[in-house]
Amino acid sequence: MKANTAERDMRSPPEIARSVRAMIVSGDLRPGDHLSTIELANRFGVSRGPVREALRLLESRALVRILPRKGAFVNSLQDDEVGVTLEAREFIFAALAELAAERATRGNLLELRRKLQVLGKLASKPTTTANEFKLATYDYVQVLYGAAHNARLNQIMRDLSEGVGHAFGHLSMATQEMRSAEYEAYRDLTDAVAQRDRTKAYDLARRMHAAGVARARQLQAAIPAAVVEFKGRRRRSRLVAATT
């Protein structure tokens, strides 16, 4: 009996990549963990071919690194591949903010203010989770990117965020103090865009991105169990436990 389309899609390389990324975001897979193609193939009921393709997709998003004769490993914020990606993301985020300051319509600005109000309310609530706040920031930046009216830059930013942005973003918003700092940065950026101050919007966006990365790295480094310096040795991941 042939599998239906939905069943085949669940086993496709992009779907496997999304599932593994979710495991990285949730902490089920930690920086330095070895990603066994055999264990992943067993988990998803596929051959090792689709798993290898999925891992290459994750590598292109800087979430994993594939080492010859050693295998694939989950990246951390301290890894060079992640740093290069975040550097590119910082400049593109700043460029989009600058363009938004120049091109935002009145409707764009009103929507930015509405999204900012949501961020402010969440930042003031002690019960807000990092993930809730992160999702609200995604709503805000989608409006900001749209206000730049540059589809190509918008897509590049989406591609960059698909990996490291989604996987590590919540680390920069883990505490209420961090979320308050993030909200204040978004408030200042919104004011700069509304004032049509391109230079200020660009500079604020760069500093804001850099500060968020610094907070995320600081938090990750403060959790010894989640930080692994790769020395060419495989460390058993929790994939087997996840499948039982």
Note down the domain range covering 121: 80-221
DSSP letters along the chain, please? Answer: -PPPHHHHHHTSHHHHHHHHHHHHHHTSS-TT-EE-HHHHHHHHT--HHHHHHHHHHHHHTTSEEEETTTEEEE--TTSHHHHHHHHHHHHHHHHHHHHHHHH--HHHHHHHHHHHHHHHHHHH-TT--HHHHHHHHHHHHHHHHHHHT-HHHHHHHHHHIIIIIHHHGGGGGSSHHHHHHHHHHHHHHHHHHHTT-HHHHHHHHHHHHHHHHHHHHHHHHT-GGG-----S-----SHHHHH-
Residues 28 and 56 in one domain: yes
CATH number at residue 37: 1.10.10.10
Number of domains in the chain: 2
Same domain, 89 and 146: yes
Does residue 196 share a domain with residue 152?
A: yes
Q: What is the pLDDT along the chain (244 residues), one digit of tens a residue?
A: 344 444 444 589 999 998 998 888 777 888 888 999 999 999 999 999 999 999 999 988 888 889 988 899 988 887 887 888 899 999 999 999 999 999 999 999 999 999 999 999 999 999 999 889 999 999 999 999 999 999 999 999 988 887 777 677 778 888 999 999 999 999 999 999 999 999 999 999 999 999 999 988 888 777 654 333 333 344 445 554 444 3
- CATH code at position 164: 1.20.120.530
Asked if 91 and 194 sit in the same domain, the reply is yes
66 lies in the same domain as 86: no
In a shared domain, residues 232 and 135: no
